Structure 1
């Protein structure tokens, strides 16, 4: 499951950053384009992370760990975000999947953060080069 999530995240990040670069080039105001496309990038990455914890939830549900898919999704989202509430736990047989998902979530959220940091860095650099000088008072 972790390999599938890593592959999915990699595909999404590359696709999102390629989209970001193409869209940024096509707009007249580089800074505004960067901000708009960075917002779209955020949504794509959030959707990717949501797909990943939903995939984990489907695995938990398929394994019979939860009576409802809603409960599996809640548990999975808590694991993926590394919140660790502990109000819903899996059986001893599958309990190790929780920490594995948490590790996976931390890595994938880190990859998303790196992609967003790059996009913000490019947008800020464009602002500085487009409008040099001290900020207005």
Structure 2
């Protein structure tokens, strides 16, 4: 168990770094877009902005799945990256299909990845909620900022 923790915690820290980078990138790009487009009343602008935030969030989550998959391949749990990535995605999204399992020695890493994934999806969801709330609050405003 200790070996699993010592192996998995550094990957979790890398994932936290990825998430922080993508959240900062999303929020920075969102703020820049909002500054350039004072009024976001047009539905197409709102859709594009939310889609970009979602895509960046998903890219960040996908990179985290890939980091875990890379670890699984390095540990010799899977012969190819595609299988490791599938297994990682199942863990990260907390689906738990069970069609592909890791060896008894490393299976606790799956639980660590699931804990990491549910936390990171929560952060992504909160970022999307913040963007959506901002659009609802400011999207119908006139140039003066009043409804």
TM-score, normalised by the number of residues in structure 1: 0.90
Quick check: 1:13 aligned with 2:27?
Answer: no
Corresponding residue for 2:53?
A: 41
**1:69-88 maps to which residues of 2 (within 5 A)?**
69-88=81-100
Superposed displacement of residue 70, structure 1: 1.0
Q: Which is bigger in relative contact order (C-alpha 8 A, separation at least 6)?
A: 2
For structure 2, the residue ranges without an aligned partner over 5 or more in a row are 1-10
What is the aligned-residue RMSD (CA, Å)? 1.5
Three-state SS of the structure 2 residue aligned to 1:31 is coil
Three-state SS of the structure 2 residue aligned to 1:129 is coil
Large movers: runs of 4+ above 6 Å: none
Counting matched residue pairs gives: 132
Contact preservation (8 Å) 2:73, 2:81: yes
1:58 to 70, 85, 91: 70
1:102 to 108, 114, 124: 114
For structure 1, the residue ranges without an aligned partner over 5 or more in a row are 133-137
TM-score, normalised by the number of residues in structure 2: 0.84
